[in-house]
Amino acid sequence: KAGVTQTPRYLIKTRGQQVTLSCSPISGHRSVSWYQQTPGQGLQFLFEYFSETQRNKGNFPGRFSGRQFSNSRSEMNVSTLELGDSALYLCASSFRDTIGSEQYFGPGTRLTVT
Amino acid sequence: AQTVTQSQPEMSVQEAETVTLSCTYDTSESDYYLFWYKQPPSRQMILVIRQEAYKQQNATENRFSVNFQKAAKSFSLKISDSQLGDAAMYFCALGQGGSEKLVFGKGTKLTVNP
């Protein structure tokens, strides 16, 4: 099976712009989660989607939003970019078996805001 | 609130030796899971090992094993016969049943010396 893919891998934007990141989960996985990784704050949970519904949301401002499509692919959007939004954005897809779940991460999108 | 603490920002080990990475956590949930993830430099996050809280037996995956002390809320990772390819950031993560949200520690950077 192909792994989690994220596009684009690298992105440079200027303050005030908006950006959309895409994530394609592993085939058969219906849950997609997003994380922001920065040197200062580490890995922080953004949101989780399952069957096109947001099930959980982290403590981020409303500028951060996401959605999931019927094929489980997910996008996240950041509007009015700030310098502090520069980070590695990781997507993870997961499945649940009888004993729990496992998350598989994509390579990430490196966003630089100038 | 769930928290994960990794008290060792950096560790080093000689090739073929054994190293233990520490992790403590806090949660009020009874249904939770613990994970160790490995993130090599500029490469994607890989799941190393998973432990269900209801299981008393410590999880093992080849050279990787955990010491899960539920009462002490401790979850350490032991790497035996360390290899150069084990060099990476290691993250301890806590998830709760019914949700894909993971709470991560700040990570431990492991260096393997030849």
Chain A residue nearest residue B95, CA to CA: A101
The pLDDT of B16-37, averaged and rounded, is 95
Interface of B with A in 49-108 (CB under 8 A): 50, 52, 91, 93, 95, 97, 99-107
Best mutation target, A41, A101, A109, to test chain B (most B CBs within 10 A): A101
A57/chain B closest Cα distance in angstroms: 9
Asked if the Cβ–Cβ distance from B33 to A108 is below 8 Å, we say no
Q: What are the chain B neighbours of A6 within 8 Å (beta carbons)?
A: none
List the single residue in A90, A101, A108 with the smallest CB-CB distance to B100.
Answer: A101
pLDDT at B42 over 80: no
Q: What are the chain B neighbours of A44 within 8 Å (beta carbons)?
A: 104
pLDDT at A96 over 90: no
* Percentage of residues in chain B having pLDDT higher than 90: 82
- Helix, strand and coil content of chain B, in percent to the nearest 5, comes to 5, 55, 45
Tens digit of each residue's pLDDT (9 = 90 or more) over A33-74: 999 999 999 999 999 999 999 999 999 999 999 999 999 999
What is the per-residue pLDDT for A99?
Answer: 61
The pLDDT of A92-109, averaged and rounded, is 84
Instruction: With cut-offs at 50, 70 and 90, classify the pLDDT of residue A109.
Output: very high
What is the per-residue pLDDT for B85?
Answer: 95
The pLDDT of B46-50, averaged and rounded, is 94
Q: How far is CA B9 from CA A61, B88, B111, in A?
A: 29, 12, 11
What is the per-residue pLDDT for B56?
Answer: 85
Return phi, psi of residue A83, to 5°: -55, -35
pLDDT at A98 over 80: no
Contact between B27 and B96 under an 8 Å Cβ cutoff? The reply is yes
Q: Give me chain B's average pLDDT, please.
A: 94
